[in-house]
Amino acid sequence: MPIEPQDLIEMYKTMLTIRRFEERAAREYEERHIPGIVHSYIGQEATATGVCANLRLDDRIVSTHRGHGHCIAKGADLKRMMAELYGRKTGYCKGKGGSMHIADFSVGMLGANGIVGAGLPIAVGAAMAAQLEGGDRVAAVFFGDGACQEGTFHESLNLASIWKLPIVFVCENNGYGVNTPAEYSIPVKDIADRAAAYAMPGVVVDGNDAAAVYEAAGRVVKAARAGKGPALLECKTYRWRRHAESKAFAELRPTGEIEAWKSRCPIASLERRLLEEGMATGQELADIDSQVLALIEEAVRFAEASPWPAPEDALEGVYSV
Ligand SMILES: Cc1ncc(C[n+]2csc(CCOP(=O)(O)OP(=O)(O)O)c2C)c(N)n1
Ligand SMILES: [Mg+2]
């Protein structure tokens, strides 16, 4: 099905929402309004957006430590997200989880996850549940290039394949695990090649091109819905900021490399396409940006005005064995 102008405009708005949310989170972190740690998704917006644009509300996703973009693309509430980052009672985890523990089951977002590679088996479970329920619900799981060297990646692809589960494995290859280059830790050029070992399709796509991700994800989501089993989608992308906002993470990547990827900004390139192909005017896109900025401002105000969790609630809503 050809991509409609309205789909592109929606994706533009989603990517801009992620970008503005992350810019503001970085600023608030710098100003010490946000405790804990924040991993920015800036630069990778097209991946979450292009994949989730193919998903229904009742489909499920599982995310990573770099999860704000996935939450937003799946429809999570900006106010509750920001409040969680701020550690406030109105946040998704009542302020006890922070950036890496945002989940919203009502929109099919089963959770970010601070443990690298831990999301894959959870998503396999969600896909298995979907299969047992019948119907055509699917699961998608996001993970980085770094997670692909872990046992959970291989075990999850294997199980999904033998059980023909309705799941899409979305590898966001941003070229680094913290500061370790992917070429150092990964012997294959394309992680998608590993799909062959599990008898599933492996697809490489430009992860900075929202339309390309949308189309590639659309094909594998459709196949999963039709009971044809899983696929591995490798989105080649890049993060613009250091591994996490804290200065404790040194920036060891070459400056030229960062600048080169910035010149391939996923939002700017979609903006060019929308303008060149007459799908939107500059004024319409500026209006979208103003709307998005107002929503982010509202989320920050909500977080700032929200109460802290009460000390006597420390043991409420937490689970340990
Ligand atoms: C099991 C585990 N090992 C190590 C870490 C520390 N750690 C946090 S993020 C990260 C890098 C992950 O790289 P990648 O999967 O490529 O994701 P990216 O940060 O690039 O989005 C590491 C090693 C962790 N959180 N969990
Ligand atoms: Mg990575």
Ligand 1 and 179: CB distance under 6 A: no
Query: How far does residue 225's CA lie from ligand 1's centre (Å)?
Result: 30
**pTM (2 d.p.):** 0.98
Contact 203, 233 (CB under 8 A): yes
Looking at the CA of 116, which ligand is closest? Answer: 1
What's 163's domain CATH number? 3.40.50.970
Kindly state whether residue 321 falls inside one of the protein's structural domains: no
Looking at the CA of 42, which ligand is closest? Answer: 1
Tally the domains of the chain. Answer: 1
Work out which ligand 1 atom sits closest to the CA atom of 150. 1
- The secondary structure element, H or E, covering residue 168 is strand 167-173
User: For a substitution probing ligand 1, which of 152, 173, 178 has the most ligand atoms within 8 Å of its CB?
Assistant: 178
Q: In which band, very low, low, confident or very high, does the pLDDT at 66 lie, cut at 50, 70 and 90?
A: very high
290-301, pLDDT tens digit by residue? Answer: 999 999 999 999
CA–CA gap between residue 205 and residue 303 (Å, rounded): 37
116-153, pLDDT tens digit by residue? Answer: 999 999 999 999 999 999 999 999 999 999 999 999 99
Kindly state whether residue 204 falls inside one of the protein's structural domains: yes
Q: In which band, very low, low, confident or very high, does the pLDDT at 95 lie, cut at 50, 70 and 90?
A: very high
Kindly state whether residue 168 falls inside one of the protein's structural domains: yes
Stretch 190-194: mean pLDDT, rounded? Answer: 98
Domain span at 90: 5-304
Stretch 251-257: mean pLDDT, rounded? Answer: 94
Average per-residue pLDDT for the chain: 97
Kindly state whether residue 277 falls inside one of the protein's structural domains: yes
At how many degrees (to 10) do helices 282-305 and 266-276 cross?
Answer: 140
Ligand 1 and 142: CB distance under 6 A: no
CA–CA gap between residue 173 and residue 219 (Å, rounded): 20
